[in-house]
């Protein structure tokens, strides 16, 4: 490929100056990475990335992931120059209230930002999910239409994080040849040179992961272009280009030091840097005419590629109407109208079973009707019951299946699921034991921040796990998940609640959901007349005792049947109680005040039962209410015995309530 070195140098210079001016205006930010990475970023954007700033949802656009999100002014400068809806006023407003240029890139806030990055390693792993998405679309529909690539810039910090190691391992196993990362190897981290803690050979490590590895001077435009060309030709492996750069390139007194990583240059150093770089424009936030014209030429060329693709897509759609309709539904993440009834019918004959088994049954029903419902678990399919039975596994060179074998890589699993969700093409899920949600918490939180419809399935949800002991018995985890804003936490009590929990999760287009299931068997609930499955979709409803208004026992999941039996014991001694199931507290809280008061009367004495810590329940039981839980770790013994020891039998609960009432 012939590249125009002179124009690239001017483009990189403009990116550098806009970036450091934005950081200086905010008096906050990270100028070092944009100064150092501007050369290779300019080569990438000017010559390789397929994009259309006026059609940011073009399905076959290449994705650019700035995993090193602290260097956000780099991507903001590029997006502005290449015609995205990011005017110069937004660059001037970097890191300010209601700007489209937050301190770290945020998906959905800024046109052209494909991922929310900043927590290091997350963008790296998201990109793996995006690359996997392209491979799956290509095999399902058309390799000629869906062949986009994922490009990214990653930092030393990204590669130090364990999530990146997990994701890189899986990407190499799957042979994701459409994934190309430029490693900004500047040998400086926030506090010190990286040699104080990071002396491994990144090249050898990634060779071991089965990646295509190249090394280059990151300031040599022609050499960088050759490396990217080589990476694109390497169809059988993901690629990493180890680009040696100088952090803070051009800064006379701070280049190559940690001082330029995370603080503004200062007015004097800013002036000196511009002089050394050869910047002669007067004023601030100026785009030279020749650079603007160069970018306009590129935009026209890329937009033409997009239009050509659209014509090709239209022709394909005309000849493949069924596939085209399926793709359109997939892009909308459309839920079939008969899904809810299908799920209800699947559980019309209730039986005693573990909710993890019932979850597996629900997954099969969803998979029949929603072909873009995909996922897998962390090497736990026999335990989590999350395998789609009529589908094959996704493997290198065969992406037709729907089961993703993530291996024992929980952190990357969550981030890859988020990567699949970012494109809005799939309804992806992951699965592991609830106790390991700790490994996935950063990815779950980012899904919530980014409004992704990621579904996180967790089984073995309480001390009822039993003999595996406290290391595998989640005690604080349900409450910890509920503490994350914009996250729905479902803990269903029987088959019908499992079915409706899945349906509710699939109907939340802008929020992730967690579904928590038991290892032990639970009896189906006996509900009073007048109940409708739609009541479950409200997050909370009356199971029994609708006529009782002065005592309410609330419970979730495996403790709902305990509450029902405890209420029977209380009734036998003359004290009636209402039993309320709360399969999703977050959904219940979204209901109007009248409905909530109808389910949980404000003047009633309130009791909650959940096999986890009591933190958070006092909001619902109110002052003086009784929260029954376990505010200590579990123990190794059969689950039934632990229930006796921890006071979670119907008899023990009834006695606890009696004593409290007295």
Tokens of 461: 């949800």
Q: State the chain's maximal CA–CA distance in angstroms.
A: 90
Tokens of 481: 């998940």
- Beta strand 373-377 with 427-433 is parallel
- Cβ-contact 629, 612 below 8 angstroms: yes
Query: Helices 162-174 and 122-140, interaxial angle, to 10°?
Result: 20
- Beta strand 541-544 with 578-581 is antiparallel
- Cβ-contact 109, 117 below 8 angstroms: no
From CA 570, how far away is CA 246, in angstroms rounded? 73
Residue 242 is given by DSSP the state E
Active centre residues (catalytic): 410
Which residues are CB-neighbours of 483 under 8 A, at least 6 positions away?
616
370 HSE (CA, 13 A, CB side): 32
Tokens of 303: 């937009």
SS3 category, 455: strand
User: Of 353, 333, 488, 543, whose CA–CA distance to 423 is shortest?
Assistant: 333
How far is the first Cα of the chain from the last one, in angstroms, to the nearest whole number? 84
- Beta strand 455-459 with 427-433 is parallel
- Cβ-contact 642, 635 below 8 angstroms: yes
């Amino acid at each position: 490929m012939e590249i125009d070195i002179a124009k690239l140098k001017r483009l990189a210079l403009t990116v550098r100056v806009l970036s450091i001016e934005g950081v200086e205006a905010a008096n906050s930010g990270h100028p070092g990475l944009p100064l150092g990475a501007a050369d290779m970023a300019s080569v990438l954007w000017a010559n390789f990335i397929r994009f259309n700033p006026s059609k940011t949802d073009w399905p076959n656009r290449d994705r650019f992931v700035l995993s090193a999100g602290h260097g956000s002014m780099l991507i903001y400068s590029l997006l502005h120059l290449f015609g995205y809806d990011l005017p110069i006023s937004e660059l001037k407003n970097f890191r300010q209230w209601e700007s489209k240029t937050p301190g770290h890139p945020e998906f959905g806030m800024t046109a052209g930002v494909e991922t929310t990055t900043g927590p290091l390693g997350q963008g790296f792993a998201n990109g793996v999910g995006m690359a996997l998405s392209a491979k799956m679309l290509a095999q399902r529909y058309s390799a000629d239409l869906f062949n986009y690539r994922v490009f990214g810039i990653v930092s030393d910090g990204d590669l130090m994080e364990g999530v990146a190691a997990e994701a890189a391992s899986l990407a190499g196993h799957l042979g994701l040849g459409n994934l190309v990362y430029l490693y900004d190897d500047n040998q400086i981290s926030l506090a010190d040179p990286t040699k104080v803690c990071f002396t491994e050979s990144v090249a050898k490590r990634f060779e071991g992961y089965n990646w295509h590895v190249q090394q280059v001077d990151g300031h040599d435009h022609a050499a960088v272009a050759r490396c990217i060309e080589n990476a694109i030709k390497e169809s059988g492996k993901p690629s990493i280009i180890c680009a040696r750069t100088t952090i803070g390139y051009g800064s006379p007194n701070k280049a190559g030091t940690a001082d330029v990583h995370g603080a503004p240059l200062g007015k004097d150093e800013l002036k000196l840097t511009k002089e050394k770089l050869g910047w002669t424009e007067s004023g601030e936030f100026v785009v030279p005419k020749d650079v603007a014209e160069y970018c306009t030429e590129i935009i026209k060329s890329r937009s033409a590629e997009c239009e050509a693709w659209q014509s090709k897509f239209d022709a394909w759609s005309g000849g493949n109407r069924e596939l085209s309709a399926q793709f359109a539904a997939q892009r909308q993440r459309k839920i079939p109208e008969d899904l809810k009834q299908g799920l209800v019918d699947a559980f019309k004959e209730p039986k005693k079973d573990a909710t993890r088994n019932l979850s597996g049954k629900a997954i099969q029903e969803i998979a029949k009707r929603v072909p873009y419902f995909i996922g897998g678990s962390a090497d736990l399919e026999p335990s989590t019951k999350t395998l789609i039975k009529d589908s094959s596994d996704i493997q290198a060179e065969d992406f037709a299946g729907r089961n993703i074998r993530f291996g024992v890589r929980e952190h990357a699993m969550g981030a890859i699921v988020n990567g699949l969700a970012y494109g809005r093409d799939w309804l992806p899920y992951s699965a592991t034991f609830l106790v390991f949600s700790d490994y996935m918490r950063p990815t779950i939180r980012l899904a919530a921040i980014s409004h992704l419809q990621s579904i996180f399935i967790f089984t073995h949800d309480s001390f009822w796990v039993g003999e595996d002991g406290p290391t595998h018995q989640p005690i604080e985890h349900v409450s910890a998940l509920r503490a994350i804003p914009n996250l729905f936490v479902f803990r269903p009590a029987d088959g019908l609640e499992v079915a409706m929990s899945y349906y509710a999760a699939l109907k939340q287009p802008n929020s992730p959901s967690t579904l928590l299931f038991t290892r032990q068997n639970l009896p189906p609930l006996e509900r009073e007349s007048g109940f409708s499955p739609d009541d479950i979709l409200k997050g909370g409803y009356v199971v029994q005792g609708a006529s009782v208004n002065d005592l309410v026992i609330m419970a979730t999941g495996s403790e709902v049947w305990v509450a029902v039996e405890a209420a029977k014991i209380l009734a036998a001694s003359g004290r009636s109680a209402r039993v309320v199931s709360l399969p999703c507290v977050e959904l219940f809280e979204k209901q109007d005040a009248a409905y909530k008061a109808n389910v949980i009367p404000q003047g009633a004495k309130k009791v909650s039962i959940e096999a986890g810590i009591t933190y958070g329940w006092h909001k619902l039981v109110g002052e003086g209410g009784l929260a029954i839980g376990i505010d200590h770790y579990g123990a190794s013994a059969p689950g039934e015995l632990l229930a006796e020891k921890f006071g979670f039998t119907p008899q023990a609960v009834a006695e606890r309530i009696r004593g409290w009432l007295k």
